[in-house]
């Protein structure tokens, strides 16, 4: 489940678009589902827009989720080169950092090799990465489906690079990919991945649990991600929890 405290959702919950509203929103989500869902995925941008006070709220949320033992994927989509990538790795993957998470989303579109400092840091700290491969936004296809000189698509190259690094790991490698749940026909692409697939788009973007196996097949380990579709049920803790339980059951049935 995502924590996406957008201005629209804060307003729908009757909360101010301030760090105080941000904190109340986030704490409510953690209280509702922190011990229930497989993964909680805070969207860093919605905290960053409030400046240093918003980042402080994010640090508090991450600390509380760590205290509960909840698996946390920080949705930051970082990517750069050299020392900048290494600095991002220190910020999000070093367990001593106040912004550390179990995994972070990263973009490989400065070249897959640019992620090496993050790959190394993840291995050092028993953490993981989710690498953007095929996203659900229509603009992404222009880059991700472009064909390279060897005949593979750019997105396919990313999948192959991740699969190569996961080869031989048991039960799964620590490198996953982001593939939109609204896409279709990806079963053959992820069959040999040997890593988790983070699949955003269930709910508000139009994907549903029943379609997950049609999209990803039976060989993939899929982590469906829902944000607005559940967050719209707030601000009541009981309503959020009931909605999460219902969706967990639907996803379990679809993916079993």
Reply yes or no on whether the pLDDT at 204 is more than 80.
no
- Going by pLDDT thresholds of 50, 70 and 90, the confidence category of residue 201 is confident
List, edge to edge, every strand of the sheet that includes 196-200. 2-3, 39-42, 71-78, 103-106, 128-134, 175-179, 196-200, 221-225
For 3-31, write each residue's pLDDT tens digit.
999 999 999 999 999 999 999 999 999 99
Residue, of 256 and 62, whose pLDDT is higher? 62
Residue 180 DSSP one-character state: -
For 68-95, write each residue's pLDDT tens digit.
999 999 999 999 999 999 999 999 999 9
In the prediction, which pLDDT does 51 show? 98
Taking the C-alpha atoms of residue 256 and residue 254, their distance in angstroms, rounded to an integer, is: 6
Reply yes or no on whether the pLDDT at 203 is more than 80.
no
Taking the C-alpha atoms of residue 120 and residue 85, their distance in angstroms, rounded to an integer, is: 11
Average pLDDT, integer, range 166-177: 96
Reply yes or no on whether the pLDDT at 210 is more than 90.
no
- Going by pLDDT thresholds of 50, 70 and 90, the confidence category of residue 205 is confident
pTM of the predicted model as reported, rounded to 2 decimal places:
0.95
Taking the C-alpha atoms of residue 54 and residue 18, their distance in angstroms, rounded to an integer, is: 8
Q: Of 17, 19, 59, 77, which residue is the catalytic one? A: 77
Contacts of 204 (CB under 8 A, 6+ apart): 227, 228, 229, 232
Q: Is residue 77 flagged as an active site residue?
A: yes
Average pLDDT, integer, range 206-217: 87
Share of the chain above pLDDT 90, in %: 87
């Amino acid at each position: 489940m995502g924590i996406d405290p957008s201005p629209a959702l804060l307003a729908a919950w009757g909360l101010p678009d301030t760090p105080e509203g941000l904190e109340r929103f986030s704490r409510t989500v953690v209280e509702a589902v922190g011990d229930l869902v497989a993964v909680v995925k805070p969207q860093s941008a919605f905290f960053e827009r409030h400046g240093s006070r918003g980042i402080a709220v994010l640090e508090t949320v991450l600390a509380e989720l760590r205290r509960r033992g909840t698996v946390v994927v920080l949705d930051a989509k970082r990517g750069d080169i050299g020392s900048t990538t290494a600095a991002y790795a220190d910020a999000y993957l070093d367990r001593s950092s106040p912004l550390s998470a179990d995994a972070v989303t990263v973009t490989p579109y400065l070249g897959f090799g640019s992620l090496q400092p993050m790959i190394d840091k993840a291995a050092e700290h028993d953490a993981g990465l989710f690498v953007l491969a095929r996203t659900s936004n229509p603009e992404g296809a222009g880059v991700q489906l472009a064909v390279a000189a060897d005949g593979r698509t750019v997105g396919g190259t990313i999948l192959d690079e991740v699969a190569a690094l996961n080869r031989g790991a048991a039960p799964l490698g620590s490198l996953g990919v982001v593939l939109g749940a609204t896409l279709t026909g990806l079963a053959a692409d992820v069959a040999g991945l040997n890593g988790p697939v983070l699949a955003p788009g269930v709910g508000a973007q139009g994907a549903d649990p029943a379609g997950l196996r049609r999209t990803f097949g039976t060989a993939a380990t899929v982590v469906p991600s829902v944000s607005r579709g559940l967050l719209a049920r707030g601000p009541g803790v009981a309503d959020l929890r009931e909605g999460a339980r219902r969706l967990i059951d639907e996803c379990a049935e679809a993916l079993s």
